[in-house]
Copies of this chain bind each other. A is one copy, B any other.
Amino acid sequence: MGVSLKDIAERAGVSLATVSNVVNGYRPVGERTRQRVQQAVDELGYSPNLSARHLRRGRTGLIALAIPELTNPYFAELAEIAIREAAGLGYTLVMENTAADGDAERLLLDGSRRQTIDGLILSPVRVGRAEVLDRRAGNPLVLIGEGVYDTPYDHIAIDNVAASHAAIRHLVAIGRRRIAFLGAPPGDDRQSAQLRLRGYREALDAAGLPFRPQLVARTDGFDRTEGRRAMGDLLALDEPPDAVFGYNDLVAIGALRALTEAGRRVPEDVAVIGIDDIEDGRYGNPTLTTIAPDKEAIGRLAVRRLVARIEGTPVTGPLTVQTPFRLIRRESTGGPTT
C-alpha cells in the first residue's frame, strides 16, 4: 500500500486532521504548519486513497454515461465532451455501453452498479417511461436524447419533431416531392425514431404532400449497414424517392453508399439529409447535409445537471431542456462544395 495520511502526519509532526485539512483546504491552517505538511506530502509523494475517502464521504466521485453504441461517432463526440466536463467538476466519467439492449438499460437504472456510481446519464432506447418511473435506486439520473418525457428526472434533448420539420422543409424547398424516411424502427421502440417519423409526416402534411407508406423504410438498427440495405429497398420501388431523410447521419451515409453503387447521382436524382452532424458527413463524397444538434450543450448540461443533483445544489430551469439545432447544408442537397 502507498503512503497514507498517517505517514505524513508523523513526518510533519502534526495530527491526521490537520493533514486532511491541508490536503482538502476545508479549514484554515496556520501558515507554518501548512508548509511543513506540504513538504512532507511532496517528499513522500502522497496522494489520497480514494476508496477510503469515498467510503467516508458516502460518494464515489464516479458518474456513468450510458449510451447505446460507442462506435456511433455521435456518441463518441458526446462522450468526449461529457468526460471533459465531468473532469472539470472533479468527477470521473465511466462509459457504459448498453448496446441498445433493454436489459442492460434496466440493469443500469436499478442494478448493482448503482452502488458504484453517484449518478447516471442515460440515453434510453428500449426502456420507456413506465420503467423509468419504477426505478428503485435513489441516485440521480439524467436522461438524454430520446423521448422519455414526463418523469421526475432531468431530460435533455433536441426537439425531434421540430428537427424533422426543418429537414423536410429543406427538402421541399429544393423542390423534392417524393421524400422517403429512412430508419423507421421495427417495433414501437426507439422513441426518437417515432418522433422523427411523426415530424416527417406532419411536415409532409404542412407542405401539402401525401404520406406514402411505401416511402417509409424500416431498419433493424441505425448504422451504415442498415442504411445501405434499406436504401436498396427504396431504390427497388416502381417510383423511387427523389429525396431521403435519414433517422441519423449513419443511416444517411449508408444510403449515400447505396446510391453510389446504384449509379444514382446525389443530389440530382436523390437528395439526402441526416441528423447528428458527425464528422464523417463532412468528409464524404458527397458531403452530407444534416441537422446539427448542439452536442456541446447536451454533453455539458447533462453533466452539470447530474452533478448539481448529486451535490444537492439548487437547480434552476425546467426539468426538460430542449437544446438548439441548426441545418447545415452540404453537397447531398445541393449545398456548397467547400
Contacts and interface: CB of A to CB of B under 8 A. Distances in A.
Nearest to A255: B283
Contact of A224 (B83, B256, B279, B337): B279
Interface stretch (A24-32, A74-82, A319-327): A74-82
A164 interface: no
A257 interface: yes
A94 interface: yes
Nearest to A96: B83
A115 B2 contact: yes
A260 B70 CA distance: 29
A285 B50 CA distance: 50
Contacts of A35: none
A70 B55 contact: no
Q: Please indicate which of the listed interface residues A60, A76, A80, A112 has the most CB atoms of chain B within 10 Å of its own CB.
A: A76
Nearest to A55: B51
A79 B73 contact: no
A38 interface: no
A81 to B, nearest CB: 10
Interface string A112-125: 10111000000000
A73 B75 CA distance: 11
A283 B136 CA distance: 43
B70 A83 contact: yes
A112 B50 CA distance: 10
A58 B52 CA distance: 10
A18 B80 CA distance: 44
Interface in A102-147: 111-112, 114-116, 136
A15 interface: no
B92 A94 contact: yes
Given A55-B52, A136-B45, A228-B283, A337 B71 contact: no
A199 interface: no
A223 B254 CA distance: 21
B83 A95 contact: yes
A40 to B, nearest CB: 17
A6 interface: no
A188 interface: no
B83 A76 contact: no
15 contacts: A1-B58, A2-B115, A47-B115, A48-B112, A48-B115, A51-B54, A51-B60, A70-B83, A73-B76, A79-B95, A83-B95, A83-B97, A93-B94, A253-B283, A284-B284
Given A48-B115, A92-B116, A254-B283, 17 more contacts: A1-B58, A47-B114, A49-B115, A51-B52, A55-B55, A70-B76, A71-B73, A80-B97, A83-B95, A93-B94, A223-B279, A224-B282, A257-B283, A257-B284, A257-B285, A261-B337, A285-B286
Those 4 A-B pairs whose CB atoms lie nearest each other, nearest first: A51-B54, A51-B55, A285-B285, A47-B112
